[in-house]
Structure 1
């Protein structure tokens, strides 16, 4: 059962990495450091967006409109951290 705990934590860590990569990439695209006309950048951006949109969409429906500010990644990160805390506090159940 310890392996189940480790797998769950790994999945949450990978999701956190993807969210941070998407967040940083969005800023680099906004400030025109990265160009979406480059095929590799466009493929990475499209892949991250397709991967994370199922997590962001329900949060965006709940959150009020904030103009150009998207708080969905922040809310999803807080949710991931909350799940990690619950898993760590209940790690004994996996032993």
Structure 2
């Protein structure tokens, strides 16, 4: 179970890092054809896209990354609690 626990934490951390990278990339003029930019967008869009459809931008401010970070944290905690209960 420790392996699964570690995997959940690493996956959540990687997703958080990708979302923070996406936030930073959105503030800078970047070439969308850049390989790194494409990878970050491909990782984060399946998470941010559905949130963006449900929660429209408020005054031009996209809150989907913030909501995604919160949801990832909640999912991480719930999964770890389940894994600890099963173990």
- Pick the TM interval, shorter chain: 0.7 to 0.9
RMSD: 2.1
Q: Which has the larger radius of gyration?
A: 1
Per-residue CA deviations over 1:22-59 (Å, capped at 9, x if unaligned) read: 112222x1xx5xx428x7xx221122112111101110
2:33 is equivalent to residue 62 of structure 1? no
Q: How many residues align?
A: 87
Residue 17, structure 1, aligned to residue 12, structure 2: no
Does the Cα contact within 8 Å between 2:48 and 2:65 map onto a contact in 1?
yes
Equivalence for 1:36: 31
Q: Which runs of 5+ in 2 are unaligned?
A: none
Structure 1 pair 53/22, CA: closer, same or farther in 2 (3 Å)? Answer: same
TM-score by length of 1: 0.75
